């Protein structure tokens, strides 16, 4: 059974970039490019006229930005939006705005097909439902909702959406913050201080100035000298609890 054709609109200032994306999309089964727009203001008009199922758009456009275009798409008949950009620092804002994927130029054929598949799975559902039920947003502004949302981690040009429960620890190494799971390490998109504030009231606990641990993944606690502890996580990773954070051990023992 062939999938229903996705009527697709391409939005971006650069004609060459639009042409390249069109050529790539024409190779993806089940996609029909029905139009193009150069700026965000024109994109809103074209969306109203053409009623596309899917919109690929750039972030930075004059007058009306890509973020503003996506935020204006509401209701069950709204198209699904995918950002295509050369900037890697706006992924969190993109998901919060309501996009279902975030592609970095140059986009590989495999990555483009995955974005189309994801867009197809989200089709026909209001963006607010997509954001909540499928948990594609990054760590939310409301701390107590973080475990119902996705955490964004980066590996090179790819962004991964993780359940909070699968994260063992956030570890800072100088200016970098790593998200550690049982299978991989990914770069966080926020500093450790911001992550800690957004994780308040959840199963995550600050145990060192460089570490925030998921208490549910602590498997062993060993006492060290000087009121310090050594935590062993479910993947056998060991984390030292600093003297300053040692009082949190009592909270961990209560879980």
Domains in the chain and their CATH numbers? 6-133 (3.40.50.2300), 143-253 (2.40.50.1020)
* pLDDT in single tens digits along all 255 residues of the chain: 566 899 999 999 999 999 999 999 999 999 999 999 999 899 999 999 999 999 999 988 877 888 889 888 876 678 999 999 887 777 777 877 788 888 888 888 989 999 999 889 877 554 443 443 343 333 333 333 344 456 888 888 777 888 888 999 999 988 889 999 998 999 988 888 888 887 877 889 898 989 999 989 999 888 886 677 889 999 999 998 888 877 766 665 555
CA 80, 128, 56 angle in degrees (round to 5)? 20
3-state secondary structure of 116: helix
Q: Tell me if the bond preceding 106 is cis, omega within 30° of 0.
A: yes
| Residue position matching structure tokens 């947003």 | 137
Report the Cα–Cα distance between both ends of the chain, in Å, rounded: 50
Report field, pTM of the whole predicted structure over 0.75: no
């Amino acid at each position: 059974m062939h999938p229903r054709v996705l009527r697709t609109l391409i939005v971006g200032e650069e004609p060459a970039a639009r042409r390249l994306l069109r050529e790539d999309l024409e190779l993806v089964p089940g996609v029909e490019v029905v139009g193009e727009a150069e700026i965000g203001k024109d994109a809103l008009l074209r969306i109203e006229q053409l009623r596309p199922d899917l919109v690929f758009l750039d972030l930075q456009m004059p007058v009306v930005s890509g973020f503003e275009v996506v935020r204006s798409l509401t209701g069950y008949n709204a198209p699904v939006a995918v950002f295509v950009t050369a900037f890697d620092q706006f992924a969190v804002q993109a998901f919060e705005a309501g996009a279902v994927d975030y592609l970095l130029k140059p986009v590989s054929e495999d990555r483009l097909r995955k974005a189309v598949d994801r867009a197809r799975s989200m089709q026909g559902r209001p963006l607010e439902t997509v954001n909540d039920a499928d948990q594609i947003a990054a760590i939310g502004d409301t701390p107590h909702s973080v475990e119902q949302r996705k955490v964004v981690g980066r590996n090179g040009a790819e962004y991964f959406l993780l359940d909070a429960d699968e994260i063992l620890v956030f570890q800072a190494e100088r200016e970098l913050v790593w998200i550690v799971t049982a299978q991989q390490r990914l770069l966080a998109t926020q500093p450790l201080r911001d992550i800690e504030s957004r994780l308040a009231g959840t199963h995550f606990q600050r145990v060192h100035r460089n570490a925030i641990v998921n208490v549910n993944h602590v498997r062993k606690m060993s006492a060290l000298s000087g009121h310090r502890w050594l935590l062993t996580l479910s993947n056998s990773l060991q984390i030292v609890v600093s003297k300053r954070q040692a009082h949190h051990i009592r909270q961990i023992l209560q879980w």
